[in-house]
C-alpha cells in the first residue's frame, strides 16, 4: 500500500469549483490513467473505466470526490482500500493501487467486463435454480475466504456481485462498510450499516423489531434468501 498519503483539505478548503469530476480528475491524473467512461457512483465514490497507460490495461478507478476528501470520508475510503488489499481470491475483485492526484484520492481495481447481478436479474428476470446455485456457490467461497481473513463484508446484495461475461463467474466487490475483526471501525461509522432491503438484523440497533431474529434475508452468503420484493416479483429490492 505504500506510505500513508498526506491529509486531505479541510471542509471549505481546496474543494472543487462546479466542474465535472471526470474533467478535473483527468487533469490531475495527467497521463497515468485515461478516463473512458463512468461505470457507477454511490455515497462513497464514483467508479470510472480507465486505461492504465504504463501497462496498457483497463482498470476500474474509484475516486472519492474532492469535496469529500477529508476527515471521516477520507478515512473510510482508505479503510475500504486497506480491507480489500489484504484479500486475494478468485471471486473477490482485487485492488491494484491506491494514490492521490491533487485533491482527489482514488484506488484502482481489476475491471470486470460484464454486469452486476442486480442488472442481470432486472434485464432477464429470475435466475434458474441451477444458475442461482452456481452464483451462490461462488459468493459463498468468497465470503468464507474473507471470513477466514477476519473480514466481514456487511453489504452483500445483487448490486455488489459482478458477473464476468467471459467466464460467467460471480465476483464480490464494494467492501465500503466491511469490518476487520479486532480493528476499530473507521470514524463516522453509524449505528445502522448496509442497505435496508438487504441488511441483517445484527446491522441494526436492537429493538422490538429485530430482537430474537436468528437469520438474515440473504442466508449465509447473502444471496440465498432474497427480500420480500424479490420473492413476490422475481426482482431484487433496491
C-alpha cell read off for 223: 444471496
Any idea what the Cα angle at residue 49 is, between residues 34 and 135, rounded to 5°? 155
**Active-site residue identified among 56, 90, 155, 174:** 155
Residue 36 phi/psi, 5-degree rounding, is -110, -45
- CB neighbours of 174 closer than 8 A, spacing ≥ 6? 42, 155, 159, 160
Residue 108 phi/psi, 5-degree rounding, is -110, 145
**Beta-carbon count within 10 A of 152 CB:** 17
Query: 155 an active-site residue?
Result: yes
Strand order across the beta sheet in which 33-42 lies: 33-42, 45-52, 57-64, 104-110, 95-101
C-alpha cell read off for 148: 477466514
- In 3D space, the residue among 90, 102, 98, 76 whose CA is nearest the CA of residue 175 turns out to be 76
d(CA 101, CA 94): 21
Annotated catalytic residues are: 155
Amino acid at each position: 500500500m505504500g506510505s500513508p498519503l498526506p491529509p486531505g483539505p479541510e471542509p471549505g478548503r481546496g474543494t472543487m469549483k462546479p466542474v465535472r469530476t471526470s474533467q478535473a480528475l483527468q487533469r490531475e491524473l495527467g497521463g497515468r490513467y485515461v478516463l473512458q467512461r463512468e461505470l457507477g457512483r454511490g455515497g462513497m465514490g464514483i467508479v470510472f473505466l480507465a486505461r492504465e497507460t504504463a501497462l496498457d490495461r483497463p482498470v476500474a478507478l474509484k475516486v472519492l470526490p474532492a469535496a469529500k476528501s477529508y476527515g471521516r470520508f477520507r478515512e473510510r475510503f482508505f479503510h475500504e482500500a486497506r480491507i480489500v488489499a489484504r484479500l486475494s481470491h478468485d471471486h473477490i475483485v482485487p485492488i491494484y493501487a491506491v494514490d492521490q492526484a491533487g485533491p482527489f484520492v482514488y484506488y484502482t481495481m481489476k475491471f470486470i467486463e460484464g454486469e452486476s447481478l442486480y442488472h442481470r436479474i432486472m434485464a432477464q428476470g429470475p435466475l434458474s435454480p441451477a444458475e442461482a446455485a452456481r452464483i451462490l456457490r461462488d459468493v459463498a467461497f468468497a465470503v468464507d475466504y474473507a471470513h477466514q481473513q477476519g473480514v466481514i463484508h456487511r453489504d452483500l446484495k445483487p448490486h455488489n456481485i459482478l458477473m464476468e461475461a467471459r467466464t460467467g463467474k460471480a465476483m464480490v466487490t464494494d467492501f465500503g462498510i466491511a469490518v476487520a475483526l479486532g480493528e476499530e471501525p473507521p470514524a463516522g461509522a453509524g449505528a445502522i450499516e448496509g442497505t435496508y432491503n438487504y441488511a441483517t438484523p445484527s446491522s441494526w440497533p436492537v429493538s422490538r423489531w429485530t430482537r430474537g431474529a436468528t437469520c438474515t434475508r440473504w442466508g449465509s452468503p447473502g444471496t440465498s434468501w432474497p427480500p420480500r420484493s424479490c420473492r413476490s416479483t422475481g426482482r431484487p429490492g433496491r
